[in-house]
Chain A
Amino acid sequence: MQARAYAAPPTLDDALALLAEHGADARVLAGGTDLIIQVRENRRDVGVMVDVKAIRELTEFTFLADGSLRIGAATPCARIYGDSQVARRFPAIIDSASLIGGVQIQSRASLGGNLCNSSPAADSIPTLIALGAIAEIRSKRQEREVLVEAFCTGPGQNVLAADELLVALRIPAPAAHSGAAFQRFIPRNEMDISVTNAAANVTLSADGQTFTAARIAIGAVAPTPLLVPAAGAALVGQPVGEAAIEAAAAASRAAARPITDMRGSADQRRHLAGVLTARVLRTAIERARAS
């Protein structure tokens, strides 16, 4: 294992100071479910591991006055999906958080870590994009906010500067008559990385018959998870039904720019982008009508 030093700063300021001091030689450690493997397999050389799990602000989640949900970047998935209020108001988050790894992994892995690892196939990022989540970023120099859909810049790459830390994810309060859902496709029934995944967040008219807003995101079909504005546009103003769903699925297929590898072929992934878009839309509609 090639990690030369380890630090567990007790406060956010301490963590930011360490990042400012060590820059690119430092690496933030949350659950470690990606980072430790990368280090062990010599895929990453880390000078200082900055463990942020001792920082309270990073390991808590709270509902804000406006109904939005603020999740500390290192909060374990298991704690999030174990919360009944989150389950009721943000079921799509549960869809994602409950299928990343098994229970042991979920007790360590975090949504913030999943985002910062910036895998094109990450299982929480499409959900965060569909929900319009915002990344709260801090460094000693500045504070800033970035929409999750603009966070990843390539496989394993993102907008964070070497001295910056993802502090929290803020998910806006769900609109009335809205619903969201996430699904992935894997060849087995567990223990796989998504061949393709998708999330949808739809708002319906009060009578539940017309789409009034929609955000569709797809993953593992491009260098980063993608927001598909054309899929949303294909729905808004349309009657809820299979014709609109198929139009959105076609938009997802068109937006996909997949590769062929051991996990799936480009054609398969493009096809699945459409299949999964339709499937998550059907669940999101059901949830919107039940809300």
Chain B
Amino acid sequence: MKVAIIKYNAGNIRSVDHALKRVGVEALVTDDHKTILDADRVIFPGVGEAASTMEYLKERELDKLLKGLTTPVLGICLGQQLMCSWSEEGDTPCIGIFDQPVRRFPGDGLKVPHMGWNSLDRVNGALVPSELKGAYVYFIHSYYVPICEDTAAETSYMVPFSAAMQRGNFYATQFHPEKSGDPGELILKQFLKL
């Protein structure tokens, strides 16, 4: 199986690559359009800032490429947020795969960023198996996608939000499966099996 990890100006790409190796898959870290189009699975990872990352993607026309993919795509963290239509972070228009806004956590006495292990309170869909209901996964983010028709897993921090999403062949997690111990590895394996 050919797995492409989209290379861009953000952090933690290496750790996604390492996590895939742990589940037995060699991935290519690339921004080459042909390689991405040829892949069986595409992972769009990320830790970073929305506006500068969107700019980088647009310069390379990776935004259009991603939106047109027909193979299973997995966005992680900032990846999930950029697959939405707009982010409050830097008032940034995003790729628009999920027709949803990305909001900043209001604060309200709780710490921002939402950092650490939180539970998957509701799960549905193909990416997050039902046995992971209640499992803890690792989050680190200040912006979130509200609950919507594309929500595939739900977690609460001040407000309930989309911990995972799905629309057609597009999948996404707000948490980091590559850093989420055994539950995270199960989700990566599940994505490779889709």
Chains A and B are bound partners: no
The residues of A with any CB-CB pair to B shorter than 8 Å are none
The residues of B with any CB-CB pair to A shorter than 8 Å are none
